[in-house]
Amino acid sequence: MLLHLELGGGTVTDGEQSITVTRTVRAPAHVLFDFLSRPGNHHALDTSGMIREAQDESPIGGVGTTFLINMRNDFKGDHRIENHVVVHEPDRAIGWAPGEPGQPAAGHTFVWRLVTAGQDTEVSQIYDWSRNSDPEAQPYLPLIGREQLEHSLELLARATEPAD
């Protein structure tokens, strides 16, 4: 079943194992991509309360690279996640798939798509858990919901839009 809703802040599409949230942000795509490519900024967008800090502040490299984030959640406590970069198209899209350090990604992804719309950018955040391979995580999926993704887009807009 696919659910598609038009909301005041943007668009939400829910699939059986994915959620997509879209809104227009008053910032150019290159500014958004730069912000998203810096793991140290991810805590500012976290609406789950799980991200503690980036292990490395360097910008995310291309597809196949990884970056570490210190996390905390109810079923694993304090732990570290190794994010595998699965999408890296400068100023167009960036995404990663979390996993245990030194292990393959667990099968859920977070992808940000950027589409230039004049001076603004249409931003979509896609959370997909359809390929989850971690049986311990299965009862907790989805890890975050639609409202959290919408709020994350709002936080991205606040962090990147020029002051009025």
Cβ-based burial of 103 (10 A; exposed 0-12, middle 13-18, buried ≥19): exposed
pLDDT(56) > 90: no
Q: Closest Cα to residue 18, out of 137, 111, 122?
A: 111
Could you tell me the residue range of the domain that residue 54 belongs to?
3-160
Instruction: Concatenate the DSSP letters of all residues of 1-12 into one string.
Output: --EEEEETTEEE
Q: Where are the alpha helices (DSSP H) in the chain?
A: 29-36, 42-45, 146-160
Residue 9: pLDDT band by 50, 70, 90 thresholds? Answer: very low
pLDDT digits (tens, 9 = 90+) for 97-123: 998 899 999 888 999 999 999 999 999
pLDDT(2) > 80: no
Task: Give me the CATH number covering residue 109.
Answer: 3.30.530.20
Q: Which residue has the higher pLDDT, 24 or 99?
A: 24
Domain count, the chain: 1
